[in-house]
Amino acid sequence: MRNLKYLVVPFLCKSSLLKLSTYNREESYTKVYNNQKQYKIEPQTIVFSGNSNTKLANEVAQCLGISLGKVILERFADGECNIQVLENVRGRNVFIIQSTCPPVNENLVELFLFISALRRASVKTITVIIPYYGYSRQDHKLAKTESIAAADIARILEQTGIDHLVSIDLHRGQLQGAFSTSVPVDNLSPYITLIHELNNHPLKLSPPNELTLVSPDFNGVSRVKKVQDELKIAFPNIKTKLAMIYKSKHPVSETEISLVGDVHGKNCLIIDDIVDSGSTLKNAAEILKREGAKSVMAYSTHPVFSGKAALNLGISNLSKIYVTDTIQVKELDKQILYDKLSVLSVAPLLAETIYRLQKRESLHELLGAHNF
């Protein structure tokens, strides 16, 4: 793993990060992103990266002003994973950054073996940072004999020996309950990235200062309401309303899709946690346009972008798509979507999280309390 040079970059300010109740559009974000702060990382703290998103891990290390821990992560000819930790980790507090994104099973096995290797090397604590938690959508049974994979993965992670898990915008906040009380789980809110982006690049709204937030399904309403609450505080001059796309499934007829809320002549922003095939966002944009929406944009935290997702989104009625870098977007997908796509970095958020955890400080301001 290549060492990184010491670099101080814009950071998330300790004193004001995500204190949404005290947001001031003109002042708060200057404190959060433009202050130059040199993080002091304790000698006993070391941060490693898996192979799933090395770009994000490198950016987190840059934010912290440290080098990532040295490790060999390789594959044998038959596909088996081999891990060799090249640092003295005995008695140290270790952080691993690894999204369990596609190839999901490969990244999961690598993470399990990484944890095991560290535990066998007598580390003091292991905090796993999983920006995107794979299998999170399999959180309940749809058939009597079906597995609940989200909970099963939690059990395996716990058995391998983790002490703490951090994720971003879990599909269901209740997944935190799949772990025992000995393994705390922190579910970080990603919406400061969207608010910061809109602060730097304001939307051109017409009618001015009016924005309708749309949930693509019933289950996402709580998430959209949370975004509305945060936008109201960050941008008090923007009037926000809610709308929802509702699907009624009938056993003997086609699924009936209806819209709850008025979007005629409105600027719409669809809010979702995961964009996978892109069909949900594409279909939602089509419905909103059909109902008279003036413009349609979308925000989705985790860009899984499977199959022809980029092509689907590229030909959709979406004028803008915001995602974060919890999963590294392929260069080809970026080229297909071009200026439609804005990738927002969660690296400063994760850097602040690591800093607070190693200082034993509260993460309350980073969580957003959005347990959907």
342 closest CA partner among 304, 285, 292, 298: 298
Catalytic residue flag (residue 70): no
Crossing angle of helices 347-358 and 54-64, rounded to 10°: 60
The CA-CA-CA angle for residues 342, 348, 351, to 5°, reads: 145
* Chain length of the chain: 372
Tokens 């709580």 belong to: 222
Asked if 283 contacts 275 with a C-beta cutoff of 8 angstroms, the reply is: no
Asked if 35 contacts 65 with a C-beta cutoff of 8 angstroms, the reply is: no
Query: What sign results for the dihedral spanned by CA atoms 206, 218, 178, 279?
Result: negative
Catalytic residue among 55, 141, 247, 330: 247
Contacts 24+ apart (CB under 8 A), 337-345: 337/310, 337/313, 340/313, 340/314, 342/197, 343/303, 344/190, 344/193, 344/194, 344/196, 344/197, 345/56, 345/59, 345/193
Order of strands across the sheet that contains 93-97: 45-49, 93-97, 125-130, 164-168, 185-188
- 174-196: burial string, b at 16+ Cβ within 10 Å, e else: ebbebbeeebebbbbbbbbbbbb
Query: What sign results for the dihedral spanned by CA atoms 226, 21, 322, 26?
Result: positive
Active-site residue set: 247
